[in-house]
Structure 1
């Protein structure tokens, strides 16, 4: 094991390089973890890549974390000496200064290693925010790093907070000015800088977030941070889409059936039911009547229907939805008697 400061520096530089090489060798890594190993027993790298899983032998963490932490602070000081905090100036120097281009690459590598080991280090996420804003770090790649960190630290609050910030950047790129329901409905009318249709990109990111939330909820029971993030995603990226809400209700039925004691999962179903009810209510609302009876809406020369038919259909849909939910609760209570969560949800 390394004894002198010089040996430690050589060791950790090699480990950081090995981590970066692992991602180059396999860009589809989907899980990280620590391998219990009190001390180095062999003269080999402590980074282990098996199929799509990346492991770090635990003995090197006590050397690795202080090193990457100090390096990040050092790079940050050098960066602040080279450019101001304003986005335009920093982006210009990123693009035009070879020295700072190397600094950017180092920042990406250092923050990646640091956040995989300690994802609640806010400064590292803030550095990556600046890199995303300047266009030198792809938002989807940054989301990918957070996804990996959550496989080891599924409750990490800083990781979830940072994901929401990155998703807001994606939304700004995908939606026309103004956003909202109209903006989301018009998202498919253009393409992003890479030529991907905006609606397709938005749908892909939304589906990936649902998968990330499901995996995190499965790794940690009653994972409030994961479920709160999932609600936020639907409120901001799936706004006004009954199909997405119905798909979520359908896909989560199996999940809650396998996690009958998870209060957060059932709370999410309650959110979905309320959201569906709200969307159906908005769809059933008739247009405001005109104060002038002579200007009443006409259809084929006759006064238009008052919308009661649509309202009845929406009411029937909602009744069917709640009936199915009651049947689900009944089946689960009979299969798993004595679980308070099921009765509370009912």
Structure 2
């Protein structure tokens, strides 16, 4: 890079450094479009927001880049760490995509020339301007790992990281890096505990409902669902009640007589989570027509639903089995409700050597005929309800919404070719 002498660069960098030191609540940084130098400081600090007038950006960046590259090439001649930190702050705020500068900053952190908590604050401010910066999120992960080695409070770190990733996701749509960072935090800071997973499940529902085109936010929802289904036990009985209501609502399409009182809570909660998400997804698809992200999310939910029910039946069935006694009833009820008819899936009757939660019983324990029949009806009705809801959703798509119609037809093909459901052509209604 060519020399670009700018005597005011050091003063500007010092002012930026001073703002960070004096304002621990600093939350934003941005470039202010001012093309003329009015012979005053281009550094603006108002209401915990930092700004830099655009006329000086090129000059400051060229100055910091040249000085930092010189320092990097001449490592045997040590630069003042305080000067390096000031230059790196200015350079990264203006262009955070240079990996070399982040490596130099890590070297200062390892030498205890910079504070770890202060570094989290710096990167949070930086992300306000560049919310999709992969290098910044990678740097935060590195800092968090160092803090964990120093026995920092995991809960406090988790709260901060979730706030930062949420802010970045709000500032930039489909922010894959922000949502990936959020997943990483739950993995390393929460260890997939049920309480934080359920809290995130609840809070993310409102977010995805107001960002219906955000694939990354919906992918985060899938991440949460996947790990919630793997939990053997949930933290609160409130979840059981909500799950029970979701299942009854899901089954109310045609099985008002069905009860789930004999089914144990773990199965109720797991199925209830998927059922509630399918009902939410149906509502969003019909309210916000033409958003492909919602249809893609639905396919994941249906795959998860089918996989969960199939694995549950396989665990209880053992070797061999017979067809479900409710197959004919499901065919008839689905045909009556949709006026189109659907074909049901093959359904195996569960073995009486498993309990209603799919856990092997003791050698001297067996399910009673009543429990076996209840579980049989429950699993069959869930699969039948899944088919019925897909027919109803496609039929409720408005014919005047052309893009929505295209997505519905694609979904119909997917149901036939991927889930192997023999669903006939469905007529759309107004």
TM range (shorter): 0.7 to 0.9
The residue that corresponds to 1:74 in the other structure is 70
Counterparts of residues 178-217 of structure 1 (less than 5 Å) = 198=152, 201-217=153-169
Note if contact 2:123-2:136 (Cα within 8 Å) is conserved in structure 1.
yes
1:19 positional shift: 0.9
Tell whether 2:107 aligns with 1:111.
Answer: no
TM-score (norm 2): 0.59
The residue that corresponds to 2:189 in the other structure is 237
The residue that corresponds to 2:17 in the other structure is 20
2:97 to 97, 113, 120: 120
- 1-structure distance, mates of 2:25, 2:234: 42
Secondary structure at the residue paired with 2:103?
helix
Secondary structure at the residue paired with 2:40?
coil
- 2-structure distance, mates of 1:172, 1:52: 31
Q: CA 1:233 to 1:327, structure 2 compared with 1: closer, same or farther past 3 Å?
A: same
Which is richer in helix? 1
1:129 to 68, 93, 106: 106
Counterparts of residues 155-304 of structure 1 (less than 5 Å) = 155-174=132-151, 198=152, 201-280=153-232
Q: CA 1:139 to 1:76, structure 2 compared with 1: closer, same or farther past 3 Å?
A: same
Q: Which runs of 4+ in 1 moved over 3 A?
A: 74-82
Tell whether 2:42 aligns with 1:59.
Answer: no
RMSD between aligned residues: 2.3
Deviations 1:72-95 (A, max 9, x none): 23334555335xxxxxxxxxxxxx
1:202 positional shift: 1.5
The residue that corresponds to 2:355 in the other structure is none
The residue that corresponds to 2:276 in the other structure is 324
Tell whether 2:39 aligns with 1:43.
Answer: yes
Secondary structure at the residue paired with 1:9?
coil
TM-score (norm 1): 0.73
- 1-structure distance, mates of 2:282, 2:288: 10
- 2-structure distance, mates of 1:137, 1:314: 48
Q: CA 1:172 to 1:281, structure 2 compared with 1: closer, same or farther past 3 Å?
A: same
Gaps of 5+ in 2: 236-262, 299-430
- 2-structure distance, mates of 1:328, 1:253: 9
Note if contact 2:137-2:178 (Cα within 8 Å) is conserved in structure 1.
yes
Deviations 1:106-165 (A, max 9, x none): 122111111111111112111111122222322221121111111111111211221221
- 1-structure distance, mates of 2:181, 2:76: 33
Note if contact 2:6-2:60 (Cα within 8 Å) is conserved in structure 1.
no
User: Once structures 1 and 2 are overlaid, which stretch shifts more, 45-54 or 316-325?
Assistant: 316-325
Q: CA 1:210 to 1:312, structure 2 compared with 1: closer, same or farther past 3 Å?
A: same
- 1-structure distance, mates of 2:21, 2:192: 39
- 2-structure distance, mates of 1:312, 1:172: 41
- 1-structure distance, mates of 2:24, 2:182: 26
Secondary structure at the residue paired with 1:155?
coil
Secondary structure at the residue paired with 1:38?
coil
- 1-structure distance, mates of 2:10, 2:112: 27
Gaps of 5+ in 1: 83-99, 175-197, 284-310
- 2-structure distance, mates of 1:15, 1:135: 25
- 2-structure distance, mates of 1:229, 1:108: 25
- 1-structure distance, mates of 2:192, 2:59: 50
1:282 positional shift: 11
